[in-house]
Amino acid sequence: MYRIGEKEIEAVRKVVESGQLFRYHKGRTAEWTRRLEGALSRKLETKHALAVSSGTAALITALAAMEIGPGDEVIVPGYTFISSALAPLAVGAVPIIAEVDETLTLDAADVESKTTRYTKAIVPVHMLGLPCRMDSILRSARQQDVPVLEDAAQAAGGSYRGRRFGTLGRAGILSFNHYKIISCGEGGALVTDDADLYQRAFVYHDGGCVFFDEEAASRPEFFAGVNYRVSEIQSAIMNEQLKRLDGILNRLRRRKAAMTEEFARSRSFRPSRCNDAEGDCSTHLPLLFETADDALEFVEANRHTTPMFRPIDTDRHVYTNWEPILRKRARHRAMDPWKWAKRQISYSRDMCQQTLDILSRTVCLPVPLEPTVKEVRSTAKSLL
C-alpha cells in the first residue's frame, strides 16, 4: 500500500456513523460500493465494474462468468502470484503454465504453442505493474478464438497503447490487498465491457443477491453462486484510494524513468525491455544480467544498502514453488479438475526453462515513492 491517511479515516468514519455497512440497504445497493464501481468504470473507461472481496475472488468470478469449467484449460504465466493458477481450479478447469520473457510477462509465442482446442482462456498478468505484450497476445487469442482475462492485480491504472489494463481483453481484474498500488487491506474488482458477462459475474459473486438486490428482476437467470461481496467500509476506503491513483502513478513513473536513465549507463547489466514505457505503472525496475551469478553477486553486494531481490528468489510468485498445483492436489477426490481434463496434464519443475533462466538473471529494485527524483537518481548512480 503506497498512501493512506486522513481522507480514508474520514470516509470510514462516515460509513460507521451511517450504520450502513452492508452492500444492500433496504433492498437497494448502498452508496459506497455503487460509487466505487462507477468511479472505477470511469477511471478505466470500461462499461462495468464489480467490486468483490479479493483479487482471487475477482479471477474466480470472471472465469465462472465466462462459463469456464471442467474439461477446460486456462493458460497462465509461470511468474505470477499462485492465485492466477488456483483460480481455474476453483471453477473445475486446469491451469497450463507458460513461459515469461525478459519483460517478466507472458511470452506470446509460448502461449500460442500451448494453446489447444481445450484452451478456454488466456490470463496475461501485468506483474509488478509491467505491461504484457498485449498486441501479440490478443492477436493470437483472436485467431484461436480464445477469450483473454487480464490479471492486473498488481497494476491498477497502468495502460497498454492508451487503454487501461483490465480493459483490453474480455474481462480484467484488480486486487486491493495490502501490497498493491491502491489498497483497502483486502479487496478486488472485475471490469468488463460485456453486459452479459457482468450480469453473470454479479449473480456468481453474490448467490444471495436474489433476496437483497433491487435490480434482481433485471438479472439473467439465477444460478448457484457464492459470496464474494465487499463491505461498505472497503468501498469507502477504495473511493479515496482511487482518487490518489493517478498521482501515485505519476510519481512512480518519474522516479522509474530517472532510475532507468542512470542504469542504462551500466556495463554489467541493463534495464529489462518494457512493452509500453508510457503505460507502465511498475512498482519495480527489473535489471537484466548476463548470468545468474552476476545477478546474485549484485544483490549480495548491495542488499544491505538498497532493497532489491531476484524474482527467482520470491517463493510465492514462481511456479516451481506452487506445490498444490505441481502435485495436482485437488481438495476432494470426487472434485478433481485434473481428472476432468480432456487430456493428461503434467507439470514438472523444469517445464519453463526460459522463465527460470530470466528470473534468475533479473534483479528487481522497488521504485520508491517518497524520495525526490534527485535522491532516487543519486541512489541509482551509487549502484553503478
Ligand X SMILES: Cc1ncc(COP(=O)(O)O)c(C=O)c1O
Annotated catalytic residues are: 180
Does residue 84 bind ligand X (CB under 6 A)? yes
286 strand-pairing partners:
364
Q: What are phi and psi of 63, to 5 degrees?
A: -65, -40
* DSSP per-residue string spanning 34-100: HHHHHHHHHHHT-SEEEEES-HHHHHHHHHHHTT--TT-EEEEESBS-THHHHHHHHTT-EEEEE-B
Does residue 125 bind ligand X (CB under 6 A)? yes
Stretch that binds ligand X, among 13-21, 71-79, 80-88, 138-146 (CB under 6 A): 80-88
Minimal CB distance residue for ligand X: 55
Nearer to ligand X, 178 or 339 (CB): 178
Does residue 282 bind ligand X (CB under 6 A)? no
Does residue 79 bind ligand X (CB under 6 A)? no
Does residue 166 bind ligand X (CB under 6 A)? no
Does residue 263 bind ligand X (CB under 6 A)? no
Distances (CA, A) of 348 to 128, 214, 296, 339: 25, 49, 25, 18
Nearer to ligand X, 83 or 159 (CB): 83
CA angle, 184 as apex, 148 and 19 as ends, to 5°? 120
Nearer to ligand X, 62 or 356 (CB): 62
Give the separation between CA 372 and CA 2, rounded to whole angstroms.
15
Give the separation between CA 376 and CA 355, rounded to whole angstroms.
29
Does residue 56 bind ligand X (CB under 6 A)? yes
**Residues whose CB is less than 8 angstroms from the CB of residue 331 and which lie 6 or more positions away in sequence, other chains included:** none
Does residue 275 bind ligand X (CB under 6 A)? no
Give the cell for residue 194: 460485456
Does residue 241 bind ligand X (CB under 6 A)? no
Using CB under 6 A, which of 33, 41, 46, 54 touches ligand X?
A: 54
Does residue 175 bind ligand X (CB under 6 A)? yes
CB 26 to ligand X: min, Å:
30
Taking CB under 6 A as the rule, which mask of x and - marks residues 188-217 in contact with ligand X?
Answer: x-----------------------------
365: helix, strand or coil: strand
206: helix, strand or coil: strand
Decide: 172 and 166 in contact? Cβ < 8 Å. Answer: yes
Taking CB under 6 A as the rule, which mask of x and - marks residues 126-165 in contact with ligand X?
Answer: -------------------------x-xx-----------
Does residue 177 bind ligand X (CB under 6 A)? yes
Does residue 103 bind ligand X (CB under 6 A)? no
Write out the residues near ligand X by the rule CB under 6 A: 54-56, 80-81, 83-84, 125, 151, 153-154, 175, 177, 188
